[in-house]
Amino acid sequence: MTATDSIRYPAGGAEAPPAGSRPARGRRASRRAENRRKWYEIIGLTTPAIAIYVMFVLVPMGFAVYYSLFRWRGVGPPTDFVGFDNYVVAFQDPIFLDALRNNAIIVVGSLVIQGPIALAVALLLNRPFRGRTVFRLLVFVPYVLAEVTVGIMWKLLLTDGGTVDALLRAVGLGSLVRAWLADLDIVIWTLLAVLTWKYVGFAIILLLAGLANVPQELNEAAAIDGASWWQIQRHITLPLLGPTIRIWMFLSMIGSLQVFDVIWVTSVASVRSLGASATMATYMVDNGFFARLWGYGNAVAVILFVISFVAALLFQRFLLRRDIEGAITRRVN
């Protein structure tokens, strides 16, 4: 609309526009109305979700950062501002450094141990054989069990002279018996084994779903060309499974950084406080609630968040880029 137009036909003016311009203006108006409606819809439909996200994710995160700057024991409002002291204290505490090391062991250990096992089992379970459904169900059972149940179960199995020890002795491996949960050098590896047992089923199910998406035609074509089973897996299945494997690695890494419940239940307070089995999350609860250092606990929470966030970003930037292109980044044409 030109300037003269708008003077001659002010919006909502009493004077009717000439017949010729009516269709154009009507179309524009309806497009504007449609546009407005679209925005109302967007605002109306996303507001509840955004409000909940802001209220229960962003606001608490903001509070955590705020509280972490105080020396605060959770009695009365925080008043003793100490800046970044809590963060300095955390990185000087040998137990926190132990927790960091343990988290690193769990992150790397989970990837290195669960990955190959899950892949092998998934490839095996992907071949048709009698009772396949039962096996698929069985490998998934530990993942479905509640973490606390798993923790208590393994705590009882691994106790001194418990089932695990008895089994080892029964098969003549008595010399391998250790103080699984009491030996400060061994406990983290015991916990890694429990975590592996618990979460490998998840990796297997993910990979099986990925395998279901590998087109059968490709395998057939390769077979006709004379490729062996191994060659098919190596050159067709694995590359096509790439996105699934990378997503699993991502989930496993984030889960390992934040692992809490299985460790908390399986390993006792004394062993955690000595650093042998502490993770960042258990350290946070032990210090935040049990030592009643709420400000300090919040600082540990923020550190845990930043580490997880940075790890997630780096992983997405370098490994997941192809898989999530266009989903959260601008599509590159």
Q: How many residues bind another protein (CB under 8 A)?
A: 32
Whichever of 213 and 270 has its CB closer to another protein, that residue is 270
169 binds another protein (CB under 8 A): no
Tell me if 107 sits within 8 A of 93, measured CB to CB: no
Q: How many CB atoms lie within 10 A of CB 205?
A: 18
251 binds another protein (CB under 8 A): no
Site string for another protein, 139-168 (x = CB under 8 A): -----------------x--xx-x------
181 binds another protein (CB under 8 A): yes
Provide, rounded to whole angstroms, the least separation between the CB of residue 290 and another protein: 6
89 binds another protein (CB under 8 A): yes
281 binds another protein (CB under 8 A): no
Chain residues 254-273 in contact with another protein, contact rule CB under 8 A: 267-271, 273
71 binds another protein (CB under 8 A): yes
Chain residues 28-67 in contact with another protein, contact rule CB under 8 A: none
Interface contacts to another protein, rule CB under 8 A: 71, 73-77, 89, 156, 159-160, 162, 179, 181-184, 187, 267-271, 273-274, 286, 289-294, 296
